[in-house]
Chain A
Amino acid sequence: MLTNDLHVGAPRNRIDGPAKVTGAATYAAEFALPDLAHGYIVNSSIAKGKISRIDLDTARAVPGVLDIFTHENRPRTAWFSSSYQDQVGPPGKPFRPLYDEAIHYSGQPIALVVATHFDIARHAASLIAIHYEAVPHQTNLEAARPQSYEPPSKRFGMAPPSDRGDAAQAFSEAPLRVAQEYAIAAEYHNPMEPHATTVVWHGDETLTIHDKTQGVLNSQAYVTSVFGLSTKAVRVVSPFVGGGFGSGLRPQHQLFLAVMASLQLKRSVRVELTRAQMFSHVHRPETINMLSLGADLDGRLTSVRHHAVAATSQFEDHQEVVVSWSGLLYKVENASFQQDLAKLDIYTPGDMRAPGAPLGMFALESAMDELAIAANLDPVELRLRNHVEDDQNTGKTLTSKELRACYAQGAERFGWSRRNPVPGSMREGSELIGWGMASGIWEAYMFKTSASASLNAAGKLEISCATSDIGTGTYTILAQIGADALGLQMADVTVRLGDTSLPAAPVQGGSWTAASAGSAVMAACTTLREKLLAAAGKMPDSPFAKASADDVAFVGGQLLHKTAP
Chain B
Amino acid sequence: MNRFSYERVVSVDAAVATLSAGAGARVIAGGSNLIDLIKSNVETPARLVDITRIAAIADIVDTDAGGLAIGALVTNATLAQEPRVVARYPLLAAAILAGATPQLRNAATTGGNLNQRTRCYYFYDTATPCNKRAPGTGCPAIDGRNRIHAILGTSAHCIATHPSDMCVALAALGAVVHVQGRDGARAIVMADYHRLPGDAPERDTTLAQDEMVTGIELPAEAQVFAAHFSYLKLRDRLSYAFALVSVAAGLELDGGVIRQARLALGGVAHKPWRLEEAEALLVGQPAQESSFARAADALLAGAQGRTHNAFKIELARRAIIRALAQAAAGTPQSSIDKRIA
Q: Which of A45, A119, A126, A430 contacts B341 (CB 8 A)?
A: A430
Contact call B339/A429, Cβ cutoff below 8 A: yes
Interface flag for A343 (CB, 8 Å): no
Interface flag for A383 (CB, 8 Å): no
Interface flag for A281 (CB, 8 Å): no
In the complex the two chains form, what is the Cα distance from A45 to B127 in whole Å?
6
Contact call B2/A429, Cβ cutoff below 8 A: no
In the complex, which residues 416-446 of chain A have their Cβ closer than 8 Å to any Cβ of chain B?
A: 429-431
User: What are the residues of chain A within 8 A of B2 when measuring CB–CB?
Assistant: 123, 126
Contact call A430/B339, Cβ cutoff below 8 A: yes
Q: Which of B3, B127, B340 contacts A431 (CB 8 A)?
A: B340
Interface flag for B1 (CB, 8 Å): yes
Contact call A126/B41, Cβ cutoff below 8 A: yes
Interface flag for A104 (CB, 8 Å): no
User: What are the residues of chain B within 8 A of A119 when measuring CB–CB?
Assistant: 1
Q: Which of A45, A126, A431 contacts B1 (CB 8 A)?
A: A126
User: What are the residues of chain B within 8 A of A431 when measuring CB–CB?
Assistant: 339-340
In the complex, which residues 299-341 of chain B have their Cβ closer than 8 Å to any Cβ of chain A?
A: 339-341
Per-position binary interface string of chain B over residues 26-52, scored 1 when its CB falls under 8 Å from any chain A CB and 0 otherwise? 000000000000000100000000000
In the complex the two chains form, what is the Cα distance from A316 to B62 in whole Å?
68
Per-position binary interface string of chain A over residues 106-130, scored 1 when its CB falls under 8 Å from any chain B CB and 0 otherwise? 0000000000000100110010000
User: What are the residues of chain A within 8 A of B3 when measuring CB–CB?
Assistant: 123
Contact call B341/A122, Cβ cutoff below 8 A: no
In the complex the two chains form, what is the Cα distance from A429 to B2 in whole Å?
51
Q: In the complex, what residue of chain A is closest to B337 when comparing beta carbons?
A: A429
- Output the least CB separation between A413 and chain B (Å): 23
- Output the least CB separation between A518 and chain B (Å): 38
In the complex the two chains form, what is the Cα distance from A123 to B2 in whole Å?
6
In the complex the two chains form, what is the Cα distance from A122 to B3 in whole Å?
11
Contact call A430/B127, Cβ cutoff below 8 A: no
In the complex the two chains form, what is the Cα distance from A523 to B18 in whole Å?
73
- Output the least CB separation between A434 and chain B (Å): 16
Per-position binary interface string of chain B over residues 204-248, scored 1 when its CB falls under 8 Å from any chain A CB and 0 otherwise? 000000000000000000000000000000000000000000000
Q: In the complex, what residue of chain A is closest to B128 when comparing beta carbons?
A: A45
User: What are the residues of chain B within 8 A of A429 when measuring CB–CB?
Assistant: 339, 341
User: What are the residues of chain A within 8 A of B341 when measuring CB–CB?
Assistant: 429-430
In the complex the two chains form, what is the Cα distance from A430 to B333 in whole Å?
12
In the complex the two chains form, what is the Cα distance from A429 to B341 in whole Å?
7
Q: In the complex, what residue of chain B is closest to A46 when comparing beta carbons?
A: B127
Q: Which secondary structure dominates where chain B touches chain A?
A: loop
Q: Which of B1, B127, B339 contacts A123 (CB 8 A)?
A: B1
User: What are the residues of chain A within 8 A of B339 when measuring CB–CB?
Assistant: 429-431
User: What are the residues of chain B within 8 A of A126 when measuring CB–CB?
Assistant: 1-2, 41
Contact call B340/A430, Cβ cutoff below 8 A: yes
User: What are the residues of chain A within 8 A of B340 when measuring CB–CB?
Assistant: 430-431
User: What are the residues of chain A within 8 A of B41 when measuring CB–CB?
Assistant: 126
In the complex the two chains form, what is the Cα distance from A193 to B190 in whole Å?
43
In the complex the two chains form, what is the Cα distance from A429 to B340 in whole Å?
9
Per-position binary interface string of chain B over residues 108-133, scored 1 when its CB falls under 8 Å from any chain A CB and 0 otherwise? 00000000000000000001000000
User: What are the residues of chain A within 8 A of B127 when measuring CB–CB?
Assistant: 45
Q: In the complex, what residue of chain B is closest to A430 when comparing beta carbons?
A: B341
- Output the least CB separation between A339 and chain B (Å): 30
User: What are the residues of chain B within 8 A of A430 when measuring CB–CB?
Assistant: 339-341
Q: In the complex, what residue of chain A is closest to B341 when comparing beta carbons?
A: A430
In the complex the two chains form, what is the Cα distance from A45 to B140 in whole Å?
15
- Output the least CB separation between A133 and chain B (Å): 16
- Output the least CB separation between A43 and chain B (Å): 9
In the complex the two chains form, what is the Cα distance from A122 to B41 in whole Å?
10
- Output the least CB separation between A292 and chain B (Å): 31
In the complex the two chains form, what is the Cα distance from A429 to B127 in whole Å?
45
- Output the least CB separation between B134 and chain A (Å): 14
In the complex the two chains form, what is the Cα distance from A430 to B339 in whole Å?
8
In the complex, which residues 1-24 of chain B have their Cβ closer than 8 Å to any Cβ of chain A?
A: 1-3
In the complex the two chains form, what is the Cα distance from A333 to B341 in whole Å?
50
- Output the least CB separation between A117 and chain B (Å): 12
- Output the least CB separation between B73 and chain A (Å): 27
- Output the least CB separation between A40 and chain B (Å): 11
In the complex the two chains form, what is the Cα distance from A126 to B42 in whole Å?
11
Per-position binary interface string of chain A over residues 1-15, scored 1 when its CB falls under 8 Å from any chain B CB and 0 otherwise? 000000000000000
In the complex, which residues 119-158 of chain A have their Cβ closer than 8 Å to any Cβ of chain B?
A: 119, 122-123, 126
In the complex, which residues 464-493 of chain A have their Cβ closer than 8 Å to any Cβ of chain B?
A: none
In the complex the two chains form, what is the Cα distance from A126 to B38 in whole Å?
11
Per-position binary interface string of chain A over residues 387-427, scored 1 when its CB falls under 8 Å from any chain B CB and 0 otherwise? 00000000000000000000000000000000000000000
In the complex the two chains form, what is the Cα distance from A154 to B122 in whole Å?
40
User: What are the residues of chain B within 8 A of A123 when measuring CB–CB?
Assistant: 1-3
- Output the least CB separation between B122 and chain A (Å): 12
In the complex the two chains form, what is the Cα distance from A300 to B3 in whole Å?
69
In the complex the two chains form, what is the Cα distance from A49 to B339 in whole Å?
47
In the complex the two chains form, what is the Cα distance from A313 to B31 in whole Å?
40
User: What are the residues of chain B within 8 A of A122 when measuring CB–CB?
Assistant: 1
Q: In the complex, what residue of chain A is closest to B1 when comparing beta carbons?
A: A123
In the complex the two chains form, what is the Cα distance from A45 to B129 in whole Å?
12
In the complex the two chains form, what is the Cα distance from A126 to B1 in whole Å?
8
In the complex the two chains form, what is the Cα distance from A554 to B127 in whole Å?
66
- Output the least CB separation between B69 and chain A (Å): 38
- Output the least CB separation between B35 and chain A (Å): 13
In the complex the two chains form, what is the Cα distance from A371 to B218 in whole Å?
60
Q: In the complex, what residue of chain B is closest to A122 when comparing beta carbons?
A: B1
Q: In the complex, what residue of chain A is closest to B40 when comparing beta carbons?
A: A276
Q: In the complex, what residue of chain A is closest to B124 when comparing beta carbons?
A: A276
In the complex the two chains form, what is the Cα distance from A429 to B333 in whole Å?
13
Q: In the complex, what residue of chain B is closest to A126 when comparing beta carbons?
A: B41
- Output the least CB separation between B21 and chain A (Å): 24
- Output the least CB separation between B53 and chain A (Å): 25
In the complex, which residues 86-121 of chain A have their Cβ closer than 8 Å to any Cβ of chain B?
A: 119
In the complex the two chains form, what is the Cα distance from A216 to B320 in whole Å?
57
Q: In the complex, what residue of chain B is closest to A130 when comparing beta carbons?
A: B127
Q: In the complex, what residue of chain B is closest to A274 when comparing beta carbons?
A: B39
- Output the least CB separation between B148 and chain A (Å): 18
In the complex the two chains form, what is the Cα distance from A430 to B341 in whole Å?
6
Q: In the complex, what residue of chain B is closest to A431 when comparing beta carbons?
A: B339
Q: In the complex, what residue of chain B is closest to A429 when comparing beta carbons?
A: B339
- Output the least CB separation between A55 and chain B (Å): 16
Per-position binary interface string of chain B over residues 281-313, scored 1 when its CB falls under 8 Å from any chain A CB and 0 otherwise? 000000000000000000000000000000000
Per-position binary interface string of chain A over residues 189-216, scored 1 when its CB falls under 8 Å from any chain B CB and 0 otherwise? 0000000000000000000000000000
Q: In the complex, what residue of chain A is closest to B41 when comparing beta carbons?
A: A126
User: What are the residues of chain B within 8 A of A45 when measuring CB–CB?
Assistant: 127
- Output the least CB separation between A88 and chain B (Å): 32
Q: In the complex, what residue of chain A is closest to B340 when comparing beta carbons?
A: A430
In the complex, which residues 85-102 of chain B have their Cβ closer than 8 Å to any Cβ of chain A?
A: none
Q: In the complex, what residue of chain A is closest to B322 when comparing beta carbons?
A: A430
In the complex the two chains form, what is the Cα distance from A119 to B4 in whole Å?
13
In the complex the two chains form, what is the Cα distance from A259 to B266 in whole Å?
49
In the complex the two chains form, what is the Cα distance from A188 to B127 in whole Å?
21
In the complex the two chains form, what is the Cα distance from A430 to B337 in whole Å?
12
Q: In the complex, what residue of chain B is closest to A127 when comparing beta carbons?
A: B2
Per-position binary interface string of chain B over residues 122-157, scored 1 when its CB falls under 8 Å from any chain A CB and 0 otherwise? 000001000000000000000000000000000000
In the complex the two chains form, what is the Cα distance from A122 to B2 in whole Å?
9
In the complex the two chains form, what is the Cα distance from A126 to B341 in whole Å?
47
- Output the least CB separation between B214 and chain A (Å): 33
In the complex the two chains form, what is the Cα distance from A431 to B339 in whole Å?
8
Chain A to chain B contacts (Cβ below 8 Å), 16 pairs: A45-B127, A119-B1, A122-B1, A123-B1, A123-B2, A123-B3, A126-B1, A126-B2, A126-B41, A429-B339, A429-B341, A430-B339, A430-B340, A430-B341, A431-B339, A431-B340
- Seen from chain A, the residues whose Cβ lies within 8 Å of a Cβ on chain B are 45, 119, 122-123, 126, 429-431
Q: A45-B127, A126-B1 are in contact. List 14 more A-B contacts (CB 8 A).
A: A119-B1, A122-B1, A123-B1, A123-B2, A123-B3, A126-B2, A126-B41, A429-B339, A429-B341, A430-B339, A430-B340, A430-B341, A431-B339, A431-B340
- Seen from chain B, the residues whose Cβ lies within 8 Å of a Cβ on chain A are 1-3, 41, 127, 339-341
Going nearest first, the 5 A-B pairs with the smallest beta carbon separation are: A45-B127, A126-B41, A430-B341, A123-B1, A431-B339
